[in-house]
Structure 1
Amino acid sequence: MTTPNKALLTRIPNNPILCEADIPWDCMSVFNAGVCKWEGGYKMLFRTDSGPKEMPDSRLTRVGLASSKDGYKWTVDEEPVFDQEKMRIWLKGQYAERFGNEEIVRIYDPRITVIEGEVYLCFALDTKHGVRGGLARSSDFRNWTLLHISLPENRNMVLFPERVNGKLIRLDRPFPLYLRKNESFDIWISESPDGELWGHHKLLLGAEEAQCGNAKIGPGAPPIKTDKGWLTTFHAVTHHPDRDLGTWARNRTWHKEYVAGLMLLDLEDPSKVIGITRQPLLQSEEPYELGGFRGSVIFPGGFILEDDNTVKMYYGGGDTVVALAEGKLDELLDSIEPIR
């Protein structure tokens, strides 16, 4: 087993790999990106927020596209994939018949998975009647076919990189506020024959089972398939009521520390958790993680296995930048401890 004090991932020296200065439109942050391998290189879909740093305007959130040959240096496309206008054109007819275009607020937090040569996009969709999770498919990262939009309140959706027993598999994090009355939210799993119809919803991991946090948990990046199981990131939150962790937000304090966690799921039945790391996979240490729009935030969005068994984890730092940390597959698997 990996010793408790040994860092499982190492940050690359030139972090962050993407920040607001790299974006060709006005923004105050770039973070929570999804990353995949594509046609001999890498693609990234990322979120940007715009407006005053202390209170960004949710109507100005965009999803952009970047490309890389090596996964380290990135080139950003001049035009976003989704902004307010492009989003409403794309979703025309989904809401407009009854509530009008003002029902749709924004699309954000993209996660991307390549399955059978096509790219699938999971995203969060803010509406005036709740947060919903969406799923779309594309062959070029620009033109998307909408497959599914969940009921409220749901977000942080993540899709497995291949079918399991002929079914698409998805992780979700719903917000059962009426029952919980606190932020102890969990990770659920479901399946679909086609990406449109989803069912067989099961609780995958309860927040109380993640020892690297004391509050809510949720999916991180799409899992990596290994001989021992599906290696799967998640985010976990520790609430520090007596510590102000720093935020640019106006007239607010920030008490939530986000870390990356790691679990292993059964290959044939991913609803079974084989094990979990007791320590965080990555915890805020660097200035770009400890500061920013929200301090002490690490949010995994991309998880890539290379041919030499190096694992790349792309993550949002401080809800402000995109960063990258790396580790070895064997060490990550060795860190897993049985959960049940």
Structure 2
Amino acid sequence: MERLGKTFLFDELDKSIQQAAFDEASAHTRDVPRTLECMHWLAESNYEIHFSPSSEMSERIIFPVSPNESNGIEDARFVRFVEDDGSVIYYATYTAYNGRVILPQLIETTDFLNFHVLTLNGRAVQNKGMALFPRRIDGRYVMLTRQDDEDLFLSFSDNPHFWSDSVLLEEPQQPWEFVKLGNCGSPIETEAGWLVLTHGVGPMRKYCIGAILLDLHDPARVIGRLKEPLLRPEGNEREGYVPNVVYSCGSLVHNGQLILPYGISDTASSIVRIELSELLAALI
């Protein structure tokens, strides 16, 4: 890799990898081909997308670009992130899927014209459904994660691209979430605490949406939770490509109401409005 400068294009990296593979094959060195393959795979997963300023917002669609996304870009969780200096950047975590394995990814943009797509790295990056808090807490980035496909975890980092530390946040407690527990998007900051919408999977793979409340200063401390689902599939919502499911990747507060878009059995979508004060009262 010494052939490359401090900055280089993908084609230059590709040629360097091919040359390194040829050199190592001649030297009969073991394990190097796999390392070079991983380097190429990682490079393909980090790229940029640029849209014309004259384009309409509705025309700016991010399609799969890398082979790791060949079967889909799934469950993007967008968040408006405010840095300590007041500057704003929009992040989105999503799952790249190639039909065999998943790859957790991160989108970054400040203007919704130029998008940087990067790979998430580290021990805490092991599963789907990561969701970033909208600001740093005690100087660190904080992310909702799932490490074991059952429980909800909290991860901390000094760099949004690398995640090593994680702690158990919440385990399934109610029958409607006994199979596994995950998040429904980035936490929302309220005066009462961090509002986290969750999804719980229960008997017959039924997906419901619930809620927990985290301490504002110590988000690893759960200070409230709903015993019953906030939203569950009813009537025609139980029918679809993946039946018996309501699911969301994010919500927002507007005029004192929680605006919650949600998917219905991977077939349709809807929006529900919930009085925020009533929800917080039920959580506390």
Equivalent pairs counted in the alignment come to 222
Q: 1:331 to 1:136 in 2, by over 3 A?
A: same
Structure 1: gaps (5+ residues): 1-74, 89-100, 177-184, 241-255
From 292, 312, 317, the equivalent of 2:240 is: 292
Structure 1 segments (4+ residues) deviating >6 Å: none
More helix by share: 2
Q: Deviation at 1:314?
A: 1.1
User: Match of 2:183?
Assistant: 219
TM-score (norm 2): 0.71
Q: Secondary structure of the equivalent of 1:154? A: coil
Per-residue Cα deviation, 1:224-253 (whole angstroms, up to 9, x for no partner): 11111101001001122xxxxxxxxxxxxx
User: Match of 1:179?
Assistant: none
Q: 1:82 to 1:148 in 2, by over 3 A?
A: same
From 110, 114, 131, the equivalent of 1:143 is: 114
Question: Which amino acid in the other structure matches residue 278 of structure 2?
Answer: E
Per-residue Cα deviation, 1:98-128 (whole angstroms, up to 9, x for no partner): xxx4786432111100112211011012246
Structure 2: gaps (5+ residues): 1-55, 83-87
What RMSD over aligned residues (CA atoms) do the two structures have, in Å?
2.3
User: Match of 2:58?
Assistant: 77
Q: 1:225 to 1:210 in 2, by over 3 A?
A: farther
Per-residue Cα deviation, 1:34-54 (whole angstroms, up to 9, x for no partner): xxxxxxxxxxxxxxxxxxxxx
Q: Deviation at 1:82?
A: 1.8
More strand by share: 1
Q: Secondary structure of the equivalent of 1:335? A: helix
Matches within 5 A, 1:1-340: 77-78=58-59, 80-83=61-64, 87-88=65-66, 101=67, 105-116=71-82, 117-127=88-98, 130-150=101-121, 153-175=126-148, 185-207=150-172, 209-240=173-204, 256-287=205-236, 289-306=237-254, 308-336=255-283
Residue pair 2:176, 2:206 contacting (<8 A) in 1 also: no
Q: Deviation at 1:283?
A: 0.8
Distance in 2, matches of 1:164 and 1:222, equals 14
Residue pair 2:121, 2:161 contacting (<8 A) in 1 also: no
Residue pair 2:68, 2:103 contacting (<8 A) in 1 also: no
Distance in 1, matches of 2:161 and 2:59, equals 32
Distance in 2, matches of 1:104 and 1:276, equals 38
Q: Secondary structure of the equivalent of 2:278? A: helix
Q: 1:102 to 1:283 in 2, by over 3 A?
A: closer
Q: Deviation at 1:197?
A: 2.2
Per-residue Cα deviation, 1:156-214 (whole angstroms, up to 9, x for no partner): 111111111111111112345xxxxxxxx11111112221222321111112x245322
Distance in 2, matches of 1:103 and 1:290, equals 29
Higher relative contact order (CA 8 A, sep 6+): 1
Distance in 2, matches of 1:194 and 1:153, equals 17
Distance in 2, matches of 1:198 and 1:102, equals 21
Question: Which amino acid in the other structure matches residue 262 of structure 1?
Answer: A
